[in-house]
Amino acid sequence: MARPGALVTCSMASVSDNVMKFFRSSSNQAAGSSVPQKLTRRSSGMGEVSRLLNSQEGLCVLDMGSTSANNIRFFTGKGHKNYSEDLLRSSLDPALRIQDAAGNSVLDSKKFLDENLKYANAHFDVVLCWNLPDYMEESLVKPTIDRLWSVMKPGGYLLAFFHTREAGPDSTCYRYHVTGTDMLEMQEVKFAPPGRPASEKQSPRLQRVFNNRHIENLFRDFASIKFFLARDAIREVLVVR
């Protein structure tokens, strides 16, 4: 699947060079930064997910963002089970880097899925992908979505956010805290590249921009897909397994 803005790996690039491509080129902005600012946004997709969460108890919810006390409180407070798995952070593990036949440094998607998303088939009622597909390295995106299809129950909801073409490569990577039925708090995500001190934390870089056809292809095995266009250059996508 050809995607505009896709990350192309240079054959002579070292492992550390490739890992650094996940981050913004300027580290100065991260150095000495204070507490990340939190913004709020209304989410139509989250509103639909909340309707499901409010109608039943004991659902299994997979949150694929950074660990969030807010989200755990929101979901467990409604009597659901919360599963946390920060796949973007896991995908930055340098141990996943291997060399392909041409000597290029690539991510080992098989090893990645051996170590992550290890759940029984048809386990989850709700999966919150947030903006993971936009920031995860391309070779992992489709295998991850395929695995999610397997671990979701038929009829389960998956919510994902995709940037529109108006978003530039330096679009801030946010984590999302659920603060109400259709309200989210956004907080900038920063990671220290592997082997670097915490003082060098940087925001992950937008890897690509999916168009509607790419998104439909990505979720072609799912039963239905619904788009919500927001004002902040984000398309919310609600997919039913």
Partner 1 sequence: MDAPVTGEGAHIGKSVVIKGELSGSEDLYVDGSVEGKIELRNHSLTVGPNGIVKADVSAKAVVIQGKFDGSVNASERVELRKSAVVTGDVTTQRIAIEEGAFLKGKVDVQREAGKAAPASS
Binding site for partner 1 (CB under 8 A): 66-70, 72-73, 76-77, 79, 81-86, 89-90
Closer by beta carbon to partner 1, 87 or else 234: 87
Q: How far is the CB of 67 from partner 1 (least distance, A)?
A: 4
Closer by beta carbon to partner 1, 191 or else 219: 191
Q: How far is the CB of 24 from partner 1 (least distance, A)?
A: 21
Closer by beta carbon to partner 1, 83 or else 157: 83
Q: How far is the CB of 32 from partner 1 (least distance, A)?
A: 18
Q: How far is the CB of 59 from partner 1 (least distance, A)?
A: 12
Closer by beta carbon to partner 1, 73 or else 196: 73
Tokens standing for 191? 């990671």
Q: How far is the CB of 197 from partner 1 (least distance, A)?
A: 15
Q: How far apart are CA 192 and CA 207, in angstroms?
A: 18
Closer by beta carbon to partner 1, 36 or else 47: 36
